[in-house]
Structure 1
Amino acid sequence: MITAMGTWDIGHFDNDTAADFSGHLDDALESETLVRSALTDAIESAEYLDSYEACKALASAALIAAQLPGGAPITTSYAPKKPLPVFSPDLRPLAVQALDRVVAPNSELLELWEETEYGPQWRQGVADLRAVLLT
């Protein structure tokens, strides 16, 4: 379907970076620490948010949202295989901030998606995640 950016579909885990991040979560002793780091790295990017960092933040936000009422379960084979802990509630606002940064100007991932016909669908997926995190 989509071949640019190491991406094969519009799902939050349908790219090489998110799939690799899932593997790191499976190997981690403290997966919440990796999720928190991915979110804060995106939030704290001052000038330009690299797509690598944005993909990790987006995957992290999806994992947090999946644990909330109304959140979509993560069913893709590219998601973490091991059960994740129940994430701390303080990650929700960080996830919202990270998503806002992912779709803000100077975000490489946003620019890459906007160059495709799937940009509006991708943006809607991010907006849907954000809505769940705000409930």
Structure 2
Amino acid sequence: MSDPMGTWDVGPFGNDDAADFAYDLDEAPMQARVDMIGRALDRVIDAADDSGLPDAPRAVAAAALIAAQYPGGESASTRGPSTPMPQFPAYFRELAINALDRVITAPAWLTEDWDAKPEGPAWRRTIADLRNVLDPPQEEALFDI
């Protein structure tokens, strides 16, 4: 599928769709922002095939805004909305993880598009970094406690 968005950066808000989403969030009342983030994530999670993923750039941006509320994710939302975001419900963390996993699971036009670009590995690192903030790798225990 062709790239319907203009991109200028591998960050979560480095494309037209995500930048438009940031503007829409800035213009929305606080509770509407929570609903908008939840819907963006749900639409991607519920996508059965690639045709259901037009919201993938918005879901990545939404995941970045959620990650920004966790340790290590503070810089994830740079170039995003200019107004403060509400505190998101705790279950949004799992939604964001699931949405990021869906964005990189074939079929996924967004991942295919980035993989065709020289910046593809850097974009994948962005996704992995977001996911690691939301679901930090666990250290292995040397023995059972």
> 1:81 matched to which residue of 2?
82
Q: Secondary structure of the residue that 2:50 maps to in structure 1? A: coil
Deviations 1:68-98 (A, max 9, x none): 011132232xx11111101111100000000
Q: Does the CA contact (< 8 Å) of 1:17 and 1:52 recur in 2?
A: no
Report sequence identity in percent. 45
TM-score (norm 2): 0.85
Following the alignment from structure 1 to structure 2, what is the Cα–Cα distance between the partners of residues 50 and 9? Answer: 24
TM-score (norm 1): 0.90
Following the alignment from structure 1 to structure 2, what is the Cα–Cα distance between the partners of residues 115 and 50? Answer: 21
Q: Does the CA contact (< 8 Å) of 1:31 and 1:84 recur in 2?
A: yes
Following the alignment from structure 1 to structure 2, what is the Cα–Cα distance between the partners of residues 49 and 93? Answer: 23
Q: Does the CA contact (< 8 Å) of 2:10 and 2:119 recur in 1?
A: yes
Runs (4 or more) in structure 1 with deviation over 6 Å come to none
Q: Which runs of 5+ in 1 are unaligned?
A: none
CA RMSD of aligned residues (A): 1.7
Aligned residues: 131
Q: Which runs of 5+ in 2 are unaligned?
A: 137-145
Q: Secondary structure of the residue that 1:122 maps to in structure 2? A: helix
The one-letter amino acid of 1:23's match is Y
